[in-house]
Amino acid sequence: MRFRGQGAVAPAGAKFSVWAAMADLARLVLRSGAPQLRLRLAAALGLVVLGKLAGVWSPVVFGDAINLIHPRDPASLAPFALAAVATAALSLAAAGAPFARDAIFMRVSQATMARAAVESFQHALGLSLDFHQSKQMGTLARVIDRGSRSTDFLIRSVVFNVGPTLIELLMAMGVMAYRLGWAFSGVTFVSILFYVVVTFRITDWRLDHRRRLNETDNRAAGLSTDALINYETVKTFGAEGRVVGGYTRAMDDYVAASVQANTSLNMLNAAQSAILQTGLAVMTVMAGVYVVHGAMSIGGVVTATLLLRNLYAPLGMLGFNYREIRQAFIDMEQMVDLLGVAPEIRDSEAARDLPPASGRGAALGFEQVGFRHDARSVGLREVSFEARPGQTVALVGPSGGGKTTSARLAMRLLDPQEGRVTIDGLDLRDVRQASLRRAVALVPQDVALFNDTLYANIAFARPEASPDEVRRAAEAAELGPFIDGLPNGLSTLVGERGLKLSGGERQRVGIARALLADPRLLILDEATSALDGPTEAAIQETLRKVRAGRTTLVIAHRLSTIVDADQILVLRRGRIVERGTHADLIARTGEYAALWRRQTREA
């Protein structure tokens, strides 16, 4: 696992290591950003040591107090009372130290958990488009949430429970050996060793149960999230029964895995209790034998009994913490795998910002570009074209021909496997992504909106834009009358993925968002496909005005929307089979002309 600084990632395929993970967690704590971090760490550790010392010494003081009191001797009551008060004070310190420690350290543990979540979320957002297209959103969110919470548990458990518990065990055995004899210390050691071995063995056996529980939980969460996001599709096809049936089967698997995990947990608890009670019984009998033979006082018996009982609480916590730590590592494994995935698209060390624009447009070039998706046999092959500043280049052709892939290469959501893509003469791989994103804007066929207001969705392209600028962008996208007809205007919530809006309204919001970005390169991917005739005509006129002086890459199905393009490229099976203006291509009576005749007949 690698929780490095912002933007850093673990090497792909890094092997999970417990010790490396703990070292990374320590570094994560140090950069958690918690206030007075080092002071809080020192105070919390000091309270841990103080509490453990008080817990071990309290039975010794009380045992000595028992030995101070004598029958029919009132004078012995005073030292006994004093020792009893000291015992109570030590017990109070031992009991209160963990609460004070948690109060001090809480800010650190929560800040650490938040840092883990932020870094995992940031890393996920930096991964490639292909990665996200192959993942379920609900499952990925669950991995980040559960993994970040496990880091909080691991830090608190290892630093403030497991380590101090081992120290307390050593101190208690030392006190037993010094005050009561090595036999008592030996019995304690054997009991603890047997307890630890049994705990570790059974817990390791239970790990597969926990993994299966996590897998079934992820599957159920992914199914429910997918169904809720695609609610409209589910309703349209009357698939509620099928979807609920799949979710029911996933939950049945989860229940079975949960029962199996909890049954094995009960077996572990029973074995631990049997070992601890056997150790206590042996210790009690030994103490009785020692008293009968005059080798131990009554106070010594009390000390031995209390020491062992006091050990049981942290020893029980040792077993609990070991189980939970191992389970936390299982929870973390998927997040570790996520952090181990290196983003395919990243800034090189030599990457730089785009130079200032000399005009509103940018020069876009494809030079012998080749790209193939893993899931397809055909991608792009030897694609070359140039869009000079201010020109409009249109991509047309059958589905799967490479049009959308070309647009993603132009935005550097993908990198070419052969050749290069340039903007203003610079290879996109040599341009910082942040600079490129400011220069390019996309209006996709299926506009994705956030569950927020219309204003926030339009202003997402440029959050610093003024309300007047946002309104002008909305007007340019022919959204003015629609907004004026809403009770809350631009403050209207659009719903999950914008489902409260029609397809045409969502597309107009996407156009307004792109216009607000004021890009050098505007990419329109079927940007008016969901609009009715009059609205499309109005927006096409708007887009013509917007394209003036700005380089535009258009993916079009309806050829009527690109007749004024400076260059039209016909893509089929990843190759450019025709290129030219509308008039040139019509005159050649080739593939474009055939498609034009078919569409005009249909019209």
Name the burial class of residue 537, with classes exposed (0-12), middle (13-18) and buried (19+) by CB atoms within 10 angstroms of its CB. middle
Give the torsion sign (CA, 96, 97, 98, 100): positive
Q: How confident is the model at residue 55 (pLDDT cuts 50, 70, 90)?
A: confident
Measured in whole angstroms, how far is the alpha carbon of residue 526 from the centre of its chain?
Answer: 32
Lowest mean pLDDT among 9-13, 414-418, 503-507: 9-13
Q: Within a 13 Å sphere around the CA of 595, how many CA atoms are in the beta-carbon half? A: 18
Task: Please tell me which of 72-81, 438-447, 490-499, 539-548 the model is most confident about, judged by mean pLDDT.
Answer: 438-447
* Number of other residues whose CB lies within 10 A of the CB of residue 288: 12
Coil, strand or helix: which one is 576?
A: strand
Pairing mode, if any, of strands 418-423 and 426-427?
Answer: antiparallel
Using only C-alpha atoms, the chain has a radius of gyration, in whole angstroms, of: 35
- Enumerate long-range contacts of 243-251, CB under 8 Å, 24 or more apart: 247/220, 247/223, 250/216, 250/219, 250/220, 250/223, 251/220
Identity of the amino acid at 23: A
> Can you tell me whether residue 352 is helix, strand or coil?
strand
Helix (H, G, I), strand (E, B) or coil at 55: helix
Rounded to two decimals, what is the model's pTM?
Answer: 0.66
Is 365 a residue whose pLDDT tops 90? yes
Residue with tokens 């608890």: 269
Contacts of 370 (CB under 8 A, 6+ apart): 379, 380, 381, 382, 383, 416, 417, 418, 419
SS3 of 409-451:
HHCCCCCCCEEEEEECCEEHHHECHHHHHHHEEEECCCCCCCC
- 542 near 476, Cβ under 8 Å? yes
What are the structural domains, with CATH classification, of the chain? 18-339 (1.20.1560.10), 364-602 (3.40.50.300)
**What SS3 state is found at 523?**
strand
pLDDT, position 603: 56
Position with higher pLDDT, 520 vs 498: 520
**pLDDT tens-digit readout, 244-283:** 998 999 899 889 888 888 888 788 788 888 888 888 788 8
Beta bridge partner(s), residue 569? 395, 579
Terminus-to-terminus CA distance in the chain, angstroms? 59
DSSP string, 370-393: EE--TT-S--EEEEEEEE-TT-EE
Please give the Cα distance from 200 to 188 (Å, whole number).
18
Q: How far is Cα 164 from Cα 142, in angstroms, rounded to an integer?
A: 32
d(CA 342, CA 126): 9
Predicted confidence (pLDDT) at residue 395 exceeds the cutoff of 90: yes
CA nearest neighbour of 576 among 584, 586, 568, 587:
568
- Give pLDDT, residue 144: 83
Which whole-number Å values give the CA distances from 282 to 22, 181, 190, 271, 440, in the listed order?
Answer: 38, 15, 11, 17, 77
pLDDT > 90: percent of the chain: 12
What is the spatial distance between Cα 213 and Cα 206, in angstroms, rounded to a whole number? 11
Percent of the chain scoring above 70 in pLDDT: 89
Q: Give pLDDT, residue 567.
A: 94
Instruction: Pull the structure tokens for residue 97.
Output: 């130290």
Once rounded to an integer, what is the mean pLDDT over residues 184-189?
A: 82
At residue 393 the predicted structure's pLDDT band, cuts being 50, 70 and 90, is very high
Is residue 155 within 8 Å of residue 116, measured between CB atoms? no
Q: Are 477 and 515 in contact (CB under 8 A)?
A: yes
* Structure confidence at residue 373 (pLDDT): 76
pLDDT tens figures, 417-454? 899 999 988 999 999 988 998 889 888 878 888 888 99
Q: Say whether pLDDT at 203 is over 80.
A: no
Alpha helices in 126-239 (DSSP H): 129-133, 137-157, 163-179, 182-229, 231-236
d(CA 511, CA 457): 11
The values of phi and psi at residue 251, to 5°, are -70, -35
Residue 578, helix vs strand vs coil: strand
Structure confidence at residue 14 (pLDDT): 45
Tokens of 450: 């956030």
